[in-house]
Structure formats: C-alpha cells, structure tokens
Amino acid sequence: MSKPRVAIFDFACCEGCQLQIVNLEEEILDLIGVVDVVEWREAMSEQSQEYDIALIEGSITRPEDEERVREIRKRAKILVALGACATIGGVNKLKNNFDIEEVKKCVYGKDAQMPHLATAMTKSVDEVVPVDFKIQGCPIDRKEFTYVVRCLLMGKTPVIPDYPVCVECKAKENVCRWEYGEVCLGPIIRAGCGARCPSSHFRCFGCRGYTDNPNVDAAKEVMDKYGLTVEDLKQKMELFGSKQGHTI
Amino acid sequence: MSKNINIHVHHVTRIEGHGNIVVNVANGKIEKCQWQVPEAPRFFEAMVRGRRWDDIQTIVSRICGICSITHSLASTKAVEDALGLEVSEQADTIRILMHYSEQLQSHVLHVGYLVAPDLFTAPSVVPLVPKAPDAVKTIIRAHRVANQWSDLLAGRTTHPVTLTPGGLTKIPSEKELRQLQDTLKATVNDLVTICEVVLSVADKLPNFTRETEYISLRQDNPPTYTFYHGDITSTDCNGDGPVHIRDWEKVANEYVSPQSTAKWTRWHRDAYAVGALARFNNNADLLSPLGKKVAGMFGLKKGNCNPFMNNVAQLVECAHVVETSIEMIDKLLTKGLKQEKITVTPKAGRGTGCVEAPRGILFHTYEFDKNGECVAANICIPTNQNHANIQKDFEAFVPQFMDRGQDDLRLGLEMLVRSYDPCISCSTHMLNVEFVK
C-alpha cells in the first residue's frame, strides 16, 4: 500500500501552527516515515497536484484566496483546518469589527486604493468550503495534532473534548483566574489544551473556540459573583471570537 | 552563455511567508528584476484599536509564530512606556533569557532546516536525514532545547502567556533554572558541531558583496551585544550618537511599493539591512568568547557586506546567547528568586518598544486613552525593512551571476532571499521565483 499523500497550505496567519509541526522535533522523523509529504512550501521545494490529506493553516481574507482554497478542496480527499485562524478565523477576525475601507486607510493611508492591497472580510476555512476535521488552538497543541493525524491514518474518527477549559484547569488545581479579578473564558471555551494559559497564571482568551453548547448561564453566574458585566466578557470574547460582520 | 532568461518563482519555498522572484533577460539585457511580496495583508495596526492595554500582547504576538516572543516583548515594553511602568531587574533578566531562547530557536530553524538544504544541494531537510543522520539529529536536538527553554519561561513554545505589562505572570523555580543551565551547558558542544557541519559546505555561499547600511540596536550602559535594550544605530552613523527608539519613524521612513503588500523603508541611502549581520556589524566587539570563536571559524569580520553571511552571523549569535544565558542564570540563582506583585493603573499615553527579532530590529508604538484602550498603533517589522535591500541586492546580483545560466541564477536568487531569513507573515507573507522564457 502506498503512503498517504499529505500537503500543507498556509493562508493569512502567523504560520505558528506549521511551526508546531516542526516543533515535533525527533517525532517528525517518525511521521515522515509513514506519510508522503508532497507539498509544504515553508519547509520544502517540491509541489504536487493531489492529496489524501490537506492541512490548511490560516484564515481566508481575499477573493483570490477563496479560489485557492476551493481548488485545494477539489484535490483533497480529507481536508483538515489547522489552528484558530483556519477553524474560527482567529485574531484576523478582529478586522471584521471595522469598516474594511477604513481599516485599509488606517494601515496604508493614501496608498490604500492600490489594487494589491485589497482585502475582504475575514473567513474561517469552513465558511468557504466543507472541512472534515478541525484541530483547534492558537497555536495548535502538538500532542493533539499527532493524535488526529494518527486517527486519520488508521481510518478512525478523532475525539476532541467538548467540555470547557475549567475542567482541565480544576484538575491541575490552579487557583481560578476570576479570583484575581481577571475575565477568564475558561467556562465557555473548549478544553484539550491542558489549561496551559491559566496554569501559567494567564486568563484563557478563547483560542480553541466555544464548546458546542457553551453554558452561558453558568458564565453569567460567575460574572455576577465577581461583580463583572456581560460587556466585560464580550470585550474578551472578541479577541478570538469575533464573528462574520460585527461582533456578537 | 544564455542571452535569454525568464525566472518566475511564484511563492518562494523554505521561507516563512509568500514572496515572488521575477527576472527577465532578453538578448543579454535585463528587462525586469523584481522581488515581490504578495502576502495577504492582515492589518494589525487597525485591529488593535479599541482593545485594552492588557490584550495588546495577546493580539500582536500573532503577527508571527516564529518571532512571537519578540513581538510580545516589543508590545509589552511599549505598553509599559505608555503607562509609565517600571520592571524589576529580576523580571528584566528572565525576559532577556526568554528572548534568547527564541533567537536560538529561530536561528537553528533557519540555518538547520531552511538554509542547509541549499548548501547540501537538496530540496528540503528530509532527504538529508538518511544522508547525514547525526548532523540532522544534532540540529533537531538544539532546536528542541530552544523550544523547551521557551516553554519553561514563556509558558508555551509559541505565543507566550507569562508576559504582562509590569513584569511576568509566572517565574520559573530555582530548580528549573538549574536544570535549564545544565541543558544549555550540554548544548554548547552540539552548537560547535553544527558550526563545523556548516563550515564544511560554507564555500556554497556565493561570494557576493554589496555595500549597504546596517541598522540595529546598540547598548552602551553597560556595553552589551544587545537584543532587548538600547537605542538605534547604523553603520552609516559615522560617530553620530544613536537615535532614541521613540524616534524610530525618522529611521524607518516607511513607504508603499507597488511590488509589495509589505511597506518598504530607507534611512541614509535608498535601502538598509537589519538582522544578525547588522547586529554583528554594529556590535561584534561585544560578543561572548564563544561567539567570537565561531566568527573566527568562518573568518567573519565587522564590516562584512555579503548578505549570505547573515546565516553565519546567526550561528555566531546562537553561540553567544547560549554562553551568555549560562552566566545570567548564575546571577539569578546567586541573588535568589522573589515572587513579585504587579499593579497597573491605566492612563492615557503613547509608548514605544523596540527589540531585536531574530531577523532584525522591530518597532511597536501604541497610544492609549484614559481608560487604557488603544486608539492608535504603528508597527514596523524587520522583514519589511529588508525588502528594499533585497531588491537592491537583486539588481547587483543578476548582472554578476547571469552568465551561469538560468538554473544557477534562480537558485542563487532564492538563496539570497532566504539568507535574510524573511518572515513575511510578519511583514504580511512571501516567496516565489519566476523565470520568464
């Protein structure tokens, strides 16, 4: 049996998720042994036409990029969105809270109308084409990445947690960030990261997106307890949770 | 010799981000010779408006995955400048250690994974694994050490979560620092091995020189080969005092080029270079003994104007940061670690932070209203500052090397771009070479 052909593509992003693949260090040698990496611009010069698995990093911000992602979808048997930019739009969606013309003017001034500086509303990959699997996080978690890849290679469906970060945070016996007067998104954000940020004494800012059914009532209860308002929460949710069009 | 050359490299590979190389030569005459940057612009300066002072770092860290610690440090320093916050000596030292971990990670990644394939005539590092397994494993080991180092101090390898205006949210334990120090001591030999491997193929780096201006930070008090503190200097300053970082806009003089979604810059001449070679050319006398030894191995001396030697200057810096960090950890442990409490009161103000990213000097400026909400931002990224210089290098390189034929010229141009270690997601994204026939 021939090895599965894997390709990695990047759109508007920081390329930090691809970096996590490189950061597998010695393990990447094992991975290279079981798949055939046919296209990975950041690391290789080779290019290809067909893929069993295509991994897409980054959000879609221009019409020409929508075309490119559709083309990749056509050539790929399985499409995986890699990291917050691809799965939920990521910080790039903050742009959608403003008027696009005004955003261009803010950065490029009088040159904003030059055609190569065109931009559109930021979209996650599944707002353009169907996505088969999502690996959440900013950046992705290396262990979760290898787990998902392993599942796909064995023809299994990966199971991603659908409970909030608080569950993992409590298991680590961290003092709740709310006790420090911080607005932590742990109660509504999908676990799977091992509560890395609260474990470093930093609030959860929501890079893994919401759980399927976020318990908003519980979140509101927590806010009442600590004397904070829904507005405080929204301000923090916008960082990674800005939606298409204006936020919330 | 070939009279006609058509090169169009669309999206140059093995660089971080998207760039194109376009060269047309007809009857021995150069008609077009361009370095283009088509990366999707991301508009960070617009997106941070309305965000609070304590969210800025979380957002702008995402400008670049490879230099996320650098962006986080620059923005955190800028917020501290705006809000008038002091940082303790202990937090300052740990931040510099954190910054060094990223320099090592980025330089090893660049030289070991992205540049080495050119020197060993391979399309990527993958075919090198069976050919030179020990060398590849040594490179991977050094890269892993750098990442574990970042992990310990920044809370993650990428996009730090321990930095906050005023200090750090969490500091390592003395035991963890001691373990880190042991690991770094054990890494010195690996670094020397990597240098020897690169030295064995260093003749593959083209012998190409073009005089230009080199800009970097400079720190006089105390004199330090600096990545984090100090003011702006350049090889064209000719004894003029350094420029304060708050005046960086007078140095960068940003402008929009039709070839690029990233802005370009110029100071004393039509282009300037930033990065490891720029830091070396301004501050080489302040390197650690091992840093100087590595420079000696390659015959790299101050005043070098061969852009391909930036790769070598990166190796020099790898040695320097590891050796210096071993000493810094000693100082921290001698003093003993203290838990520090941070209190911040938001206020209106404007502030600037400037640090050296692995690929060159980086500027962040923010303005806040009385509630601590950002009203304006200006960020100038090292790769942008190199774009005009890459273009000028192209214009000098193509006539010198076009006799060697299209394939060699194309490889030479790709290597030239890679030597700058461009991080185009930072500036936006790039790399493509087109030869037109």
Name the burial class of residue A202, with classes exposed (0-12), middle (13-18) and buried (19+) by CB atoms within 10 angstroms of its CB. Answer: buried
Sign of the four-CA dihedral B163, B167, B173, B178 = positive
Contact residues, chain B, for A97 at CB < 8 Å? 50
Distances B302 to B235, B240, B277, B356, B396 between C-alpha atoms, Å: 10, 18, 9, 19, 22
Across the interface, do B143 and A61 touch by the CB < 8 Å criterion?
Answer: no
Across the interface, do A16 and B431 touch by the CB < 8 Å criterion?
Answer: no
**Tens of each residue's pLDDT in chain B, 437 residues:** 457 888 888 777 767 667 889 999 888 888 989 988 766 667 888 899 999 999 999 999 999 999 999 999 999 999 999 999 999 999 999 999 999 999 999 999 999 988 988 898 887 787 888 888 899 999 999 999 999 999 999 999 999 999 999 999 999 999 999 999 999 999 999 999 999 999 999 999 999 999 999 999 999 999 999 999 999 999 999 878 899 999 999 999 988 777 776 778 999 999 999 999 999 999 999 999 999 999 999 999 999 999 999 999 999 999 999 999 999 999 999 999 999 999 999 999 999 999 999 999 999 999 999 999 999 999 998 988 999 999 999 999 999 998 998 899 999 999 999 999 987 544 432 333 333 33
CATH number of A5-153: 3.40.50.700
Distance from CA of A223 to the nearest CA of B (A): 19
pLDDT of A106 reads 80
Nearest CA in chain A to B113: A43
Can you tell me which residue has the tokens 């290898």?
A: A146
Give the one of A10, A25, A139 whose C-beta lies nearest to B144's C-beta. Answer: A25
B340-386: per-residue pLDDT in tens? Answer: 999 999 999 999 999 999 999 999 999 999 999 999 999 998 988 99
Give the one of A25, A46, A61 whose C-beta lies nearest to B143's C-beta. Answer: A25
Q: For all residues of chain A together, what is the average pLDDT?
A: 88
Give the integer Cα–Cα distance in Å for B205 and B153. 35
Chain A CB within 8 Å of residue B303 CB: no
Nearest CA in chain A to B373: A235
Name the H helices within A58-99.
63-75, 84-88
Across the interface, do B64 and A15 touch by the CB < 8 Å criterion?
Answer: yes
Across the interface, do B65 and A19 touch by the CB < 8 Å criterion?
Answer: yes
- Amino acid at position A140, single letter: I
| Nearest by Cα to B322 from B429, B137, B185 | B185
Contact residues, chain B, for A17 at CB < 8 Å? 65
B212-271: per-residue pLDDT in tens? Answer: 999 999 999 999 999 999 999 999 998 788 999 999 999 999 887 777 767 789 999 999
pLDDT of A230 reads 73
Q: Which residue has the higher pLDDT, A106 or B29?
A: B29
| Token pair recorded at residue B167 | 């200090």
- Amino acid at position B405, single letter: G
Contact residues, chain B, for A236 at CB < 8 Å? 55
- Number of A/B CB contacts below 8 angstroms equals 170
Give the integer Cα–Cα distance in Å for B280 and B385. 17
pLDDT of A101 reads 85
Distance from CA of A239 to the nearest CA of B (A): 7
Give the integer Cα–Cα distance in Å for B159 and B89. 23
Distance from CA of B221 to the nearest CA of A (A): 33
Give the integer Cα–Cα distance in Å for A74 and B331. 58
pLDDT of A118 reads 74
SS3 of B159-187: the string is: CCCCEECCEECCCCCHHHHHHHHHHHHHH
Across the interface, do A32 and B126 touch by the CB < 8 Å criterion?
Answer: yes
Cis upstream peptide for B307 (omega within 30°): no
For residue A107, pLDDT beyond 50: yes
For residue A135, pLDDT beyond 60: yes
User: Distance between the two ends of chain B, CA-based, in angstroms?
Assistant: 15
Domain segments of chain A as ranges = 5-153, 165-241
Across the interface, do B43 and A95 touch by the CB < 8 Å criterion?
Answer: yes
Cis upstream peptide for B206 (omega within 30°): no
Distance from CA of A180 to the nearest CA of B (A): 12
Give the one of A92, A138, A235 whose C-beta lies nearest to B42's C-beta. Answer: A92
Nearest CA in chain A to B138: A26
Across the interface, do B63 and A200 touch by the CB < 8 Å criterion?
Answer: no
Instruction: Let me know: does A170 contact A48? Beta carbons within 8 Å.
Output: no
Chain A CB within 8 Å of residue B133 CB: no
Give the one of B63, B113, B141 whose C-beta lies nearest to A43's C-beta. Answer: B113
Across the interface, do B162 and A202 touch by the CB < 8 Å criterion?
Answer: yes
Across the interface, do B125 and A23 touch by the CB < 8 Å criterion?
Answer: no
Name the H helices within B336-381.
none
Give the one of B45, B62, B117 whose C-beta lies nearest to A91's C-beta. Answer: B62
Does the domain made of B5-206+330-435 have the CATH classification 3.40.50.300? no
Q: Which residue has the higher pLDDT, B133 or A40?
A: B133
pLDDT of A30 reads 87
pLDDT of A242 reads 75
Contact residues, chain A, for B146 at CB < 8 Å? none
Window 242-261 of B, Cβ < 8 Å to A:
256, 258, 260-261
Can you tell me which residue has the tokens 């214009």?
A: B395
| Token pair recorded at residue B359 | 């690929």
Q: Which residue has the higher pLDDT, B54 or A215?
A: B54
Residue A226 — very low, low, confident or very high, per pLDDT cuts 50/70/90? confident
For residue A247, pLDDT beyond 60: no
pLDDT of B61 reads 96
pLDDT of B17 reads 65
Give the integer Cα–Cα distance in Å for A208 and A190. 6
pTM score, two decimals?
Answer: 0.93
Q: Which candidate in B61, B156, B263 is best for mutational testing of the A interface (most A CBs within 10 A)?
A: B156
- Phi and psi at residue B98, to the nearest 5°: -60, -45
Across the interface, do B162 and A92 touch by the CB < 8 Å criterion?
Answer: no
Distances A233 to A166, A190, A196, A239, B51 between C-alpha atoms, Å: 16, 16, 20, 11, 13
Across the interface, do A103 and B43 touch by the CB < 8 Å criterion?
Answer: yes
Across the interface, do B258 and A116 touch by the CB < 8 Å criterion?
Answer: yes
CA A41 to chain centre: 20
Chain A CB within 8 Å of residue B129 CB: yes
A64-95: per-residue pLDDT in tens? Answer: 899 999 999 999 999 999 999 999 999 999 98
Backbone dihedral region for residue B303 (phi beyond 0: left; psi -120 to 50: alpha; all else: beta):
left
> Does ipTM come in above 0.85?
yes
